[in-house]
Amino acid sequence: MREALLTCDDSPTPVGLAAAVRAAADVEQRAQLDKALAVLEWVAARRLPEDRAADECSDEHLDEMSKDRFGSQALHLAGPGAPVVEEDEAYEIAAALGLSRQSGSRYVGELIELRYRLPRIWSRVTALDLPLWKARKIAAAATCTLPEAGAAYVDHQLAWAAARTTLAQIDRTVDEAMVRFAPDLLPEDPADHRDVIVDLDDTRHGLVSIDALLDLDDALDLENALRAGAARLKGAGSDDPRGVRRAKALGDLARGRGALDLQTGGTGRRPLVVNVVNGQATCEAFVRPGLPVSVSVDQVRDWCTSATKVTVREVLDLAANCSTDTYVPTEKLASQAPWLHPTCVFPFCSRAAERCDIDRVEPYADGGPTSTANLAPLCRTHHRMKTHARWRYRRRPEGVFEWTGPMGQVFQVDDRPP
């Protein structure tokens, strides 16, 4: 590919290299448009008739479906007046794109919004005057909540200079459209983005990161508490660095006590269970399914001196194929599946196994055994797609999961360790 793009001799000049980069960018832009056009051709061919489209259902609510709505739903991915698609087919398109259900639905919804509700902006994309990513930013900026007149207003205001429009200008235009055409949808109070994220999916040596956006008053109180906690730990004889003492003080606050309580008894700490896989001496452990942590002996010793109770237990032999004659898996079987499969085994789904249902690959009614090889975690939505919609899967002898979508595409999921 590189040779095809370079138009100079064997000693390329800076001008030639820059031209190659520009040519590659043009090829990429064209490929992105071709992919989007293919998706929209599917939308046009498979859009649901009006009687099905009248069923209101959006992707973010599908995990909590009631029992009377278990089958594939009419999926509204864009705003009023836009085509509605079949849920199980939309997830097959997402998998074909190499995206999760959520990311794929968002991508398809933004394309539908552009093609059917923002036609001027979409024409700039098809003319290669506007990068698709920039157009998707406009579509994603809450335009799907606007009535058709509001979307038309945004389209008219931004299309002529969309390539030069900043994200702030996009937000202002959408806000103005909301005021003009949908004032009843305006929030009573400004958006509150306060949040605290504890990233348990990214651990290094038993440590996790925390990201928080707090009210100023709360942040000041937290800072004072961390300073005081770190100082108390130092006064109690700790020779840890200041940052480590602040981190420990935060943990003490989470357990409902300050650092001083460490010396006076305080309240009990939640018992910590460390699961060591197969009794390996390397002490690779899990504090929850799918969350491997390389734990040092010193770290376990530190936990033992600071916690009310630390239990180090050996997990099942993950190479064993356990089974039972009953329909309900035994406790060992139920706990084994999340260790073997850290996430939902649907294509490109990353939902943690501990938040999934334990599914039988071959149904029990069809003779499927209750065994290690026949159990796998599926998140609630993908469990519903397999059980009540048109998705099907099987497990091949080597352990790979093979899924077939409602339109016939086949996807393989290999979550075996390398």
Answer with the residue of higher pLDDT: 29 or 354. 29
- Token pair belonging to 34: 């071709």
Distance CA 344, CA 356 (A): 7
SS3 412: strand
Q: Which amino acid is at 298?
A: D
Cα 372 to chain centroid distance, Å, stands at 27
**What single string gives the DSSP state of each residue in 174-214?**
HHHHHHHH-GGGS-SS-----EEEEEEEEEETTEEEEEEE-
The per-residue pLDDT for 320 is 81
pLDDT-derived band at 184 (thresholds 50, 70, 90) equals confident
**What single string gives the DSSP state of each residue in 333-385?**
HHHHHHHH-SB--STT---BGGGSEEEESS-GGGT--EEGGGEEEE-HHHHHH
pLDDT in tens, 43-102: 999 999 987 777 655 555 455 444 445 788 999 999 999 999 999 999 999 999 999 999
Q: What are the beta bridge partners of residue 352?
A: 343
- Cβ-contact 84, 76 below 8 angstroms: yes
Q: pTM value?
A: 0.75
The per-residue pLDDT for 68 is 46
N- to C-terminal Cα separation, the chain: 30
What residue segments make up the domains of the chain, in order of their start? 2-58+68-185, 206-255, 275-306, 323-413
The per-residue pLDDT for 301 is 66
Token pair 């796998």 in the structure block, residue = 376
Mean pLDDT across 203-229: 85
Answer with the residue of higher pLDDT: 285 or 148. 148
The per-residue pLDDT for 350 is 92
pLDDT in tens, 393-412: 999 999 999 999 999 999 99
Q: DSSP label at 160?
A: G
Mean pLDDT across 5-28: 81
Lowest-confidence segment of 3-17, 65-79, 339-353 by average pLDDT: 3-17
Distance CA 351, CA 323 (A): 25
pLDDT-derived band at 348 (thresholds 50, 70, 90) equals very high
- Cβ-contact 272, 302 below 8 angstroms: no
- Cβ-contact 119, 81 below 8 angstroms: no
The per-residue pLDDT for 311 is 64
Lowest-confidence segment of 36-50, 128-142, 176-190, 251-265 by average pLDDT: 251-265
Q: Which residues of 260-275 are buried (b: 16+ CB within 10 A; e: fewer)?
A: eebeeeeeebeebebb
The per-residue pLDDT for 186 is 76
**What single string gives the DSSP state of each residue in 284-309?**
EEESSTT-EEE--HHHHHHHHHHSS-
Distance CA 394, CA 396 (A): 6
Token pair 């929850």 in the structure block, residue = 288
SS3 240: coil
